[in-house]
A = this chain, B = another copy of it.
């Protein structure tokens, strides 16, 4: 049984806590959060503290707090030579205080409190400075997911950048689609089958090969009509730049 202290209880902390708590190989022995919080019924037996000096011995201390705070927070931990890991895609392992053994446990997914995460398919990216810690993090990952991969800080940064494109920026495209339909009093659910199929198609096809549309086929007529429909502002500029980018990407490889 791997004993875990979970430090931070945002969207990721919450999802991770539920997954690690419903697991035969892991046990959350304590939750820390800087402010008080109400744990739901399934978690209410887990000891909770807002005081770092009250932290109990654990095999792994998992930090799940905003990126900018990770370094200074790790300095404030009142112990040394323990395994302390963070859960961030964009932060290097070396940001952690050197007084403890360092590691990273990064589940590559978007988490929200309102949706239960199924960790089984989520890639878990692990890194550690000591081999024995890497094994422990692998075991922890495998208790949750069938897809545990060792990835160093340099590569993880790039992976996180790619995740911003396929998650944050994609969601912004959905937001723009939603706004366009709302202005026409059309229901957003009209777009949902298209959105799913777009995501599903690239299970079989390389996204480069899956590209379609007026930009790809250089259909100036349709592009002009679309630009005419968009009022001046960021969405029009985005349409233009995305069209150029698709043409540049496909021009250079075709």
| Cβ contact of A190, chosen from B66, B123, B242, cutoff 8 A | B123
What is the minimal beta-carbon distance from A156 to any residue of chain B, in angstroms? Answer: 9
Q: Does A205 contact B (CB under 8 A)?
A: yes
> Which residues does chain B contribute within 8 Å of A222, judged by CB atoms?
67, 90
Chain A contact residues: over half helix, strand or loop, or mixed?
A: helix
| In the bound complex, CA of A190 to CA of B110 (Å) | 13
* In the complex, chain A residues 83-98 whose Cβ is within 8 Å of any chain B Cβ: 90
**With A112-B210, A163-B191, A203-B192 known to touch, is A158 a contact of B172 (CB < 8 Å)?**
no
> Contact residue range for chain A?
35 or more
A binding-site residues for B, Cβ under 8 Å: 66-68, 90, 108-110, 112, 114-115, 121-123, 147, 149, 151, 155, 157-159, 161-181, 183-184, 186, 188, 190-208, 210-216, 219, 221-222, 225-226, 229-230, 233-235, 237-239, 241-242, 244-246, 248-249
Q: Write 7 A-B pairs (CB below 8 A) sorted by A numbering.
A: A68-B219, A112-B210, A164-B239, A165-B239, A166-B195, A171-B201, A178-B207
